């Protein structure tokens, strides 16, 4: 077996949305940036993502928003409720003085647009699956192909492969998210619904006149829902959600995603950092995973640009980790708390849920504070 060695200043493992956004953000850094992406072609999976207003501003700064805006549906109102319980809350874009609370976009479209833009400014290689990486001086990445192996060394190795290292802390929620596009007898406009049911949260997000569904249920129920015929699925959804959006008439192919909270070990690594889902994977209940990933990207790119000395040294990567710790912990804790409070059928917690929703409704400053944190991150 032959081994060829090569070097790059920054090697990004994973050219998904986070890895591609980082390559774009590093465009002005005068560094040789190499992106290694396992997929040979763009993802065709339908997964609706709610981008926060803060994420939109960042994508605009990266110059990629014009390619995305036609496919993105603005959310101007969010309606939160719980099935069979009192309490509800509504949030409007005007309350935060932003044009929209967020934007719904398909993961496949977003990934493809970012990858295409990244390929204009970096050496982006598709169909290259990394088999191993090692932190150190230098950090090393290996790719194995039939009969040959290739190795790259990097001053800064960025793991953006969506799963990270083996030493992750995992909480398995014992839940799956069923995603699909749903058609209704009334066109979806600019309202998003989040409904908490004892099985888990059910989100209906407007997506170009249709509804994007993210429905959290137990794994066996997810499998059953995916196997139902379209009419049976629409009937089950109607039963769980009610008639607030109208009558569901058709549904696309469904996918099921197992849900976990995963956080990578927090000590600094030599010449290596983890970003996006590789660093932390959140439950989608609050739609924060990619928004958090973009804040990883923004902080890392700024550090590469503003602190080029000793790039990747242990002190350098420790500074990056410290800069990200508060935002990451807050979002992981907030998301985890929401799942625990809202995904069960325990009577005192049902009352607490109602109270929380009513409080949010009657205490505008608290609601505003939470909404700003979710829209802009820790500086919101
Ligand atoms: C049902 C659901 C709904 C969600 N809703 C929202 C939402 O509303 N808002 C939000 O902000 N977030 C949401 N998320 C989270 C969001 O999808 C993730 O945070 C986001 O995809 C993270 O991007 P990433 O690039 O870090 O990882 P990924 O999207 O997982 O991309 C990783 C990339 O690395 C590549 N890769 C993997 N292994 C290798 C390898 N060995 N070598 C080379 N390349 C490799 C993969 O092919 C992929 O392209 C949701 C998630 C789910 C499951």
pLDDT tens track for 2-46: 455 699 999 999 999 999 999 999 998 999 999 999 999 887 778
Q: Is the pLDDT of residue 151 over 70?
A: yes
CA–centroid distance, 53 to ligand 1, in Å, is 19
Confidence of residue 353 (pLDDT cuts 50, 70, 90): low
114 or 369, greater pLDDT: 114
Cα gap 183→333, rounded to integer Å: 34
- Per-residue CA distances from 74 to 99, 187, 203 (Å): 9, 14, 15
Q: Whose CA is nearest to atom 27 of ligand 1?
A: 162
Q: Is 214 in the pocket of ligand 1 (CB under 6 A)?
A: yes
Q: Is the pLDDT of residue 263 over 80?
A: yes
pLDDT tens track for 97-138: 888 989 999 999 999 999 999 999 999 999 999 999 999 999
- The position carrying tokens 């960042």 is 58
CA–centroid distance, 362 to ligand 1, in Å, is 36
Cα gap 201→48, rounded to integer Å: 15
Residue 275: its pLDDT value, please? 96
- The position carrying tokens 């709610």 is 50
Structure tokens at 261: 């909270």
Residue 356: its pLDDT value, please? 57
CA–centroid distance, 225 to ligand 1, in Å, is 23
Nearest-atom index, ligand 1, CA of 18:
25
Cα gap 76→375, rounded to integer Å: 13
Confidence of residue 302 (pLDDT cuts 50, 70, 90): very high
DSSP state for residue 311 in the 8-state scheme: T
Domain residue ranges of the chain, discontinuous segments joined by +: 2-74+100-168+261-344
* pTM of the entire predicted model: 0.90
What does 151-190 look like in DSSP terms, one character per residue? EEEEEEEEE-SSS--S-EEEEEEEEEEEEEEEEESS---S
Residue 249: its pLDDT value, please? 97
Q: Is 175 in the pocket of ligand 1 (CB under 6 A)?
A: no
Q: Is the pLDDT of residue 154 over 90?
A: yes
CB neighbour class for 94 (10 Å; exposed up to 12, middle 13-18, buried from 19): exposed
Which of 257, 314, 331, 378 lies closest to 136 in space, CA to CA? 314
pLDDT tens track for 314-324: 999 999 999 99
Site to substitute for ligand 1 among 23, 38, 58, most atoms within 8 A of C-beta = 38
Q: Is 105 in the pocket of ligand 1 (CB under 6 A)?
A: no
Q: Is 312 in the pocket of ligand 1 (CB under 6 A)?
A: no
Topology annotation, domain 2-74+100-168+261-344: FAD/NAD(P)-binding domain (3.50.50)
Cα gap 46→130, rounded to integer Å: 25
Q: Is 296 in the pocket of ligand 1 (CB under 6 A)?
A: no
CA–centroid distance, 132 to ligand 1, in Å, is 19
- Per-residue CA distances from 231 to 183, 199, 250 (Å): 12, 21, 7
Portion of the chain with pLDDT greater than 70, in percent: 86
Mean pLDDT, residues 206-211 taken together: 96
Structure tokens at 173: 């929620």
Nearest-atom index, ligand 1, CA of 276:
26
Mean pLDDT, residues 87-91 taken together: 70
CA–centroid distance, 175 to ligand 1, in Å, is 18
Q: Where are the beta strands (DSSP E) in the chain?
A: 2-13, 33-37, 48-52, 73-75, 77-82, 88-92, 102-106, 123-126, 130-134, 139-145, 148-159, 168-184, 191-197, 200-207, 210-217, 248-251, 255-264, 272-274, 280-281
Confidence of residue 1 (pLDDT cuts 50, 70, 90): very low
Q: Is 13 in the pocket of ligand 1 (CB under 6 A)?
A: yes
Q: Where are the beta strands (DSSP E) in 221-375?
A: 248-251, 255-264, 272-274, 280-281
196 or 51, greater pLDDT: 51
246, 184 contact by CB (below 8 A): yes
Hey, which residues does 161 pair with through a beta bridge?
A: none
The radius of gyration of the chain's CA atoms, rounded to the nearest angstrom, is 21
CA–centroid distance, 247 to ligand 1, in Å, is 32
Site to substitute for ligand 1 among 125, 277, 334, most atoms within 8 A of C-beta = 277
Portion of the chain with pLDDT greater than 90, in percent: 64
CA–centroid distance, 238 to ligand 1, in Å, is 29
């Amino acid at each position: 077996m032959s081994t060829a060695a090569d070097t790059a200043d920054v090697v990004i493992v994973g050219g998904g949305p986070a890895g591609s956004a980082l390559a774009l953000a590093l465009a002005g850094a005068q560094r040789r940036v190499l992106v290694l992406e396992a997929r040979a072609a763009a993802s065709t999976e339908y997964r609706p993502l709610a981008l926060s207003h803060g994420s939109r501003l960042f994508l605009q700064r990266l110059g990629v928003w014009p390619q995305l805006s036609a496919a993105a549906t603005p959310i101007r109102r969010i309606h939160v409720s719980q099935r069979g319980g009192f309490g509800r809350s509504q949030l409007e874009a005007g309350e935060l003085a932003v044009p929209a609370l967020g934007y719904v976009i398909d993961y496949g479209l977003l990934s493809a647009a970012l990858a295409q833009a990244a390929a204009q400014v970096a050496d982006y290689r598709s169909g290259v699956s990394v088999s191993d990486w090692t932190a150190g001086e230098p950090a090393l990445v290996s790719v194995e192909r039939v009969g040959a192996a290739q190795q790259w060394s990097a001053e800064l190795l960025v793991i953006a492969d969506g799963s990270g290292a083996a030493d992750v802390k995992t909480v398995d929620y014992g839940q799956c998210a069923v995603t699909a596009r749903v058609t209704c007898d009334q066109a979806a406009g600019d309202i998003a619904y989040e409904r908490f049911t004892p099985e888990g949260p059910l989100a209906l997000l407007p997506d170009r006149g249709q509804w994007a569904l993210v429905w959290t249920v137990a794994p066996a129920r997810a499998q059953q829902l995916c196997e139902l015929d379209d009419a049976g699925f629409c009937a089950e959804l109607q039963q769980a959600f009610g008639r607030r959006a109208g009558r569901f008439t058709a549904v696309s192919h469904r996918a099921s995603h197992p849900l976990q909270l995963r956080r990578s070990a927090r000590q600094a690594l030599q010449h290596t950092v983890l970003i996006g889902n590789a660093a932390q994977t959140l439950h989608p209940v609050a739609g924060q995973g990619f928004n958090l990933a973009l804040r990883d990207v923004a902080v890392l790119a700024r550090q590469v640009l503003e602190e080029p000395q000793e790039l990747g040294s242990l002190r350098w990567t420790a500074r990056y980790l410290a800069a990200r710790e508060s935002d990451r912990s807050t979002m992981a804790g907030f998301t985890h708390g929401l799942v625990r409070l809202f995904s069960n059928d325990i009577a005192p917690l049902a009352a607490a849920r109602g109270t929380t929703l009513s409080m949010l409704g009657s205490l505008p400053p608290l609601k505003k504070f939470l909404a700003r944190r979710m829209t802009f991150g820790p500086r919101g």
